[in-house]
Structure formats: C-alpha cells, structure tokens
Amino acid sequence: MAITAMYAAATGMKAQDTKLNVVANNLANISTVGFKRSRTNFEDLMYQIRREPGVRDANDNPNPHGIQVGLGVMVSGTQLDFRNGTFDPTDKPLDLAIEGEGFFQVRSFYNGQEVTAFTRAGNFIRNANGDLVLANSEGSLLDPPVNIPEDVASSMVQIGRDGQVMVRQQGSNELTQIGQIELARFVNPEGLLCIGKNLYLDTDASGPPLEGTPLEDGLGAIQKGMLEASNVEPVRELVDLIFTQRGYELNSQSIKSADELLQVVTNLRR
C-alpha cells in the first residue's frame, strides 16, 4: 500500500512540475504582443480494485466493487486561452490589432518547409523590399503580401477596419489602394499548434483556416495604431504559482511519509 502511495505522489510531483513550467512560460511572456496564456489539464490514472472481506457499501451490503485505489494523476494536455488581451495604443501606422475573431496570416518555415502560419500579433514593419513583415526573429511575410512603394512614408499609409491598405503618394492628394489584408479564423482555435515566434499552425483539431475579409463572415475588424497585449493576468498566474508549489510540496511530503511507513513495516517483518 505504501508503494502505491509513493507512486501516486510521484506522479503528482511530475504533474505539478509540468504545471509550474506552463505558469512560468505564461509569466515570461507577459509583455509579448498577442501572446495567449496556456493552462494545464489533469486527469486521474486508472484504479486498482482491492477486494477485502468486511467492506460494505452505503446500504450496509457487501460492496461488489471492493476498495478502489487510484494510482495518481497525469497531465492530459495544455489548453490555449484565446480571450482577447487589452489594446495598447502606439500611434504607429503599421501596428495593427484584431478586434474580434481572426488571425493574421504570414509565411514562415517549420521543419524546413515553408508554411502559412497564423498570429494575433500585429507589430508589422517594412522590410528592405517594402513588404509588410511581422517584427519577429525571422521577419515573417504577410500573406497575401502587401508592398509599400519606396516613395511612400509609413505615415502616409492608411489601413481601414476592413483591411484595405491605401497610400498617398508624393505629389498626389488621392489615396490609392495597394493591397488587402485578409484574416483567418478556426472552428476550434484551441487546437492550433504553437511553433514559437508568436505563430501557430493549423491541425486536425483546429480544423482548416476559414479565410476572408475583415468585418465579413464572423471575422473581426482591423484596429490601426494599436497592439493587442498578452492576455496573461499577473495576479492569477501568481496564485497558480503558489498553489502549484504547495501541491508539489504536499506530494513530496506524501512520499516521505509513505517511505517512513514502509520502513516501519519492513522492521516489523524482521
């Protein structure tokens, strides 16, 4: 029995260690644009059935199920929380946020292959060719691409709520459309795969991307001069951190108590 308790407590320590890593990652990305926090889901392990004489149920009848002893816990997975973060005004014309559902689409590389990735981060800049790219470590190109002419300053770029990209070129008082920002949404965004760099990939669990123009087909609106902050709540994460630490300590104490009990039983058998 003591060995079973030690095993169950050990699985608890391992599960709490995983949760601690998730909470630490949430706190580390508290200032990451467009970051979505994760939570850890647990499930109990299988149960041993111990049939012992004299065990009865609530009606004082012999319990046909015997004594059910659980074998601990395991992490069933992590779950993304896609609630919107707050919008921080930056007044930069190429900083964009999505008000409502949707993801920006960018070109990226994963496992050596070029893929379409998705992000809630909208900190875009112009690269050397004038293309709009995400300000991450690889400069992911917006998809479909938007190219800003060399003679157009960033302050002359107008991006509407519907994603239309308009510019006012030198010597002209009229706006000219040079591109259209499209968004994508998913039936189950929590099923997306995190690949780092503020990017996600679609999976069988998320379903295929449903692409469209902002403000149409359930997609949100583009907010210019804004960035969506991470949705990490510091107080909530700190409470989770303390709770996780206490859980780890209690499981450690359970192992110590079970070990002491096992030593007592061993000494009695001698």
Mean pLDDT of residues grouped by 10 in the chain (270 residues)?
81 95 96 96 82 58 65 92 95 95 97 96 94 94 94 90 90 86 96 95 96 95 96 96 95 87 72
E strand residue ranges, the chain: 38-44, 47-50, 67-70, 73-80, 87-89, 96-99, 103-110, 113-119, 124-126, 132-134, 141-142, 157-159, 164-167, 176-180, 183-185, 193-196, 199-201, 210-212, 221-224, 226-228
Alpha helices by DSSP H, listed for the chain, are 2-28, 234-269
Q: How far is residue 160 from each of residues 96, 128, 203, 220, 224, measured CA to CA in Å?
A: 10, 24, 31, 12, 7
pLDDT of residue 42: 94
**If DSSP codes are grouped into helix, strand and coil, which group holds residue 190?**
helix
Return the DSSP state at 144: S
pLDDT for res 235: 96
pLDDT for the residue 65:
59
pLDDT of residue 71: 85
**Residue 155 pLDDT:** 85
